[in-house]
């Protein structure tokens, strides 16, 4: 659909699972060279890498950089450049969640969430922008959340990190606007990924509800459509932002949330 994406070098942090894995596949399908990243079973990651490379006849590599470690993050971007010859599309997607009342919120979880969900994007962007400026083209897409725009109780670190991403997105857009680079944030509502599965059980504990009650009264309550946002809906918008048609969009946080933040 977007011919201009063929041969572009893309990196998706946290692409061994959920939204990131689907983004990596959508980019490979569009003809991009893709660097996978994230944790997980070694054999399963290799199976994913080999499948994407074979199915879409493109280069797919894996780098296991830990998004809490700035030197490994620099290594990831260096690896994209030395493997593919450019760093064209950066998708900051890696993220974790913890649901707990603030008075019980573990200090180390706060630090870990801020590191993975916010600071890692500072580091990837810092090291990618020079490559993008050199060729006068780049796309930076940050996976934020409806929680970059509104809050929910018991998610202090997550909401703080995602609001931070919305601010970082604006600053980077302003700094790169004259260099053919765009920087935007996608703000999904609930998507049924492994991360949300974990949240359902944590929320059930925090609120004293059953998991079925959480799905119905917390998740479906938040989203007026009463349906999860799908991978296909996110892929379509991500590819638009990455395409030439998305060149006029920069510095914005776009909700894809079934109407959640309209309330």
- Residues annotated as catalytic (active site), given as ranges: 158
Nearer to ligand NAD, 36 or 87 (CB): 36
Q: How many other CB atoms are there within 10 angstroms of residue 32's CB atom?
A: 28
| Least distance to ligand NAD, CB of residue 11, Å | 12
Nearest to 247 by CA among 135, 92, 139: 139
Nearer to ligand NAD, 194 or 208 (CB): 194
| Least distance to ligand NAD, CB of residue 64, Å | 8
How many contiguous H segments (helices) and E segments (strands) does the chain have?
10, 7
Positions touching ligand NAD (CB under 6 A) are 14-20, 37-40, 66-68, 93-96, 116-117, 143, 145, 188, 190-191, 193-196
| Least distance to ligand NAD, CB of residue 178, Å | 29
| Least distance to ligand NAD, CB of residue 253, Å | 12
Burial (Cβ within 10 Å: 0-12, 13-18, ≥19) of residue 209:
middle
Q: Which stretches within the chain are classed as H helix?
A: 18-29, 42-56, 70-84, 107-114, 120-135, 156-176, 194-207, 211-213, 220-222, 231-242
- CA distance linking residue 17 with residue 37, whole number of Å: 10
Q: How many other CB atoms are there within 10 angstroms of residue 154's CB atom?
A: 18
Strand partners, 90: 11, 140
Strand partners, 187: 255
| Least distance to ligand NAD, CB of residue 179, Å | 26
């Amino acid at each position: 659909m977007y011919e201009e994406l063929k041969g572009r070098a893309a990196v998706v942090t946290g692409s061994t699972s959920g939204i990131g894995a689907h983004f990596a596949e959508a980019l490979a399908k569009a003809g991009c060279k893709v660097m996978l990243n994230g944790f997980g079973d070694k054999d399963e990651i290799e199976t994913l890498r080999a499948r994407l490379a074979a199915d879409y006849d493109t280069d797919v590599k894996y780098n296991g950089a830990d998004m809490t470690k700035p030197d490994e993050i620099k290594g990831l971007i260096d690896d994209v450049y030395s493997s593919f010859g450019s760093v064209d599309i950066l998708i900051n997607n890696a993220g974790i969640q913890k649901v707990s009342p603030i008075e019980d919120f573990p200090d180390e979880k706060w630090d870990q969430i801020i590191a993975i969900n916010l600071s890692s994007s500072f580091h990837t962007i810092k090291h990618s922008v020079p490559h993008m400026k050199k060729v006068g083209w780049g796309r930076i897409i940050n996976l934020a959340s409806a929680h970059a725009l509104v809050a929910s109780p018991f998610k202090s670190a997550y909401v703080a990190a995602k609001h931070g991403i919305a601010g970082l997105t604006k600053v980077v857009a302003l700094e790169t606007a004259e260099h053919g680079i765009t920087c935007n944030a996608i703000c999904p509502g609930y998507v049924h990924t492994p991360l949300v599965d974990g949240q359902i059980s944590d929320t059930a504990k925090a609120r004293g509800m059953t998991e079925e009650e959480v799905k119905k009264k917390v998740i479906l309550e938040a989203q007026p459509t009463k349906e999860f946002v799908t991978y296909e809906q996110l892929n379509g918008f991500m590819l638009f932002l990455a395409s030439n048609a998305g060149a006029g969009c920069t510095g914005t946080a776009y909700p894809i949330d079934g109407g959640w933040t309209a309330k």
